[in-house]
Amino acid sequence: MPQTASNTGTIVYRQKLVVGLGEILWDHVRGVSRLGGAPAKMNEHEAPRVLDLLHPPPGGAAHSGAESRTHHQIAHRLLRDFPALKMVCITLGDKGSLLVTRHTSHHHHGVGGTVVDTVGAGDAFTGALVHYFLDGAPLPVLNEAGNRWGSWVASQRGAVPPLDAETLYANARAIAKAG
């Protein structure tokens, strides 16, 4: 079962870290890194701000132009700046998610459905992504798992909705097909 190590977004799962936005920035400020092979996950609004915080614009400008960079460019810059980082995940709301490694990338267009309550959807996405990441699954499986479980939680009321066997097996079958 995943455990939150702090209120900054680090999740400890199977004795590995999944590093959130807060850890990337805090470690950069302190001049250390605990990324050690972990993936980093952020949303589409956080991604450009990460670059602005890591690489302040010259002359005190409000923005460095990171807003105009593509999600791929931002992910590759983070992978370059943090050599121990293995993967960058940028969630794109109802447009799915983008996974980027040094050698490949995968975009998932999302799983349709009616949004009832988004509380817990990001955690469900992250939990599914990490589970399959640690098992060494390919990017399409990671993306399918994250999007499928995040979407399912968003379609329910509450952060931890009750899960029936039919939903569990339907999602497992869809994720297996992605591989």
The domain ranges of the chain are 3-178
* Segment 146-160, tens digit of pLDDT: 999 999 999 999 988
Over the stretch 67-82, which tens digit does the pLDDT of each residue have?
Answer: 668 899 989 988 888 7
pLDDT at 50: 75
Q: Give one DSSP letter per residue of the chain, joined into a string.
A: --EE-STTS-EEETTEEEEEHHHHHHHHHHT----TT-EEEEETTHHHHHHHHHSPPGGG-S--SGGGS-HHHHHHHHHHH-TT--EEEEE-GGG-EEEE-SS-EEEE-------S--TTHHHHHHHHHHHHHHTT--HHHHHHHHHHHHHHHHTSSSSS----HHHHHHHHHHHHHH-
How is domain 3-178 classified at the CATH fold level?
A: UDP-N-acetylmuramoyl-L-alanine:D-glutamate ligase (3.40.1190)
Taking the model in full, what pTM does it have?
0.77
122-133 tens-digit pLDDT: 989 998 998 898
Is residue 90 scored above 90 in pLDDT?
Answer: yes
